[in-house]
């Protein structure tokens, strides 16, 4: 991680060849599109609907990887796979909480970094 952030923009910067406007647009899209999916995953977790939580985790995975949020990469995979397969379900609520907090922190950090 860089400067206490739980994400890295290195991949996005590389893909956008350092174009600041394009990078900002991707960050804005992330900030706008992620919270509803995160809420869906949290609500499904609260209800014990692990199939729905798994689908939401799958949707979040590419964003987590794009932002290189390595500290929750394995957690989101576990929510997706274990939720889908009904394995180790007792461990999933804590993982959902951890992932949610990490993503919410990243969103706040991104808003500050890009003055959004």
CA–CA distance, 63 with 61 (Å, rounded to integer): 5
Return the C-alpha torsion angle 62, 52, 87, 95, nearest 10: 60
**Whole-angstrom Cα distance, residue 77 to residue 84?**
11
Calculate helix-pair angle for 50-66, 20-47, nearest 10 degrees. Answer: 160
> Is 1 contained in some domain?
no
pTM of the model: 0.92
CA atoms within 13 A on the CB side of 27: 25
Q: Give the Cα separation of 20 and 27 in Å (integer).
A: 10
Q: How many residues does the chain have?
A: 116
Q: What is the pLDDT of residues 19-65, one digit of tens each?
A: 999 999 999 999 999 999 999 999 999 999 999 999 999 999 999 99
Query: DSSP code of 8?
Result: -
Does the structure show a pLDDT above 90 at 3? no
Residue 49 lies in a domain: yes
State how many domains the chain has. 1
Separation in Å, CA 3 to CA 53, 54, 96, 102? 31, 31, 25, 15
| CATH (domain of 84) | 1.20.120
The domain of 65 spans 10-113
- Is residue 1 scored above 80 in pLDDT? no
Q: What pLDDT sits at residue 2?
A: 52
- Domain assignment present for 59: yes
Q: Of 2-6, 36-40, 105-109, 110-114, give the lowest mean pLDDT range.
A: 2-6
Please check whether residue 100 lies inside any domain of the structure.
Answer: yes
């Amino acid at each position: 991680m860089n400067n206490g952030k739980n994400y890295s923009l290195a991949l996005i910067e590389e893909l956008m060849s350092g174009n600041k406007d394009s990078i900002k647009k991707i960050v804005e899209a992330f900030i706008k599109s992620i919270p509803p999916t995160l809420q869906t995953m949290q609500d499904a977790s609260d209800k014990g609907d692990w199939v729905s939580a798994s689908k939401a985790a799958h949707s979040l995975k590419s964003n987590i990887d794009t932002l290189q949020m390595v500290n929750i990469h394995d957690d989101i995979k576990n929510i997706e796979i274990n939720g889908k397969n009904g394995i180790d379900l007792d461990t999933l609520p804590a993982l959902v909480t951890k992932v949610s907090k990490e993503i919410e922190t990243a969103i706040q950090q991104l808003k500050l970094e890009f003055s959004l």
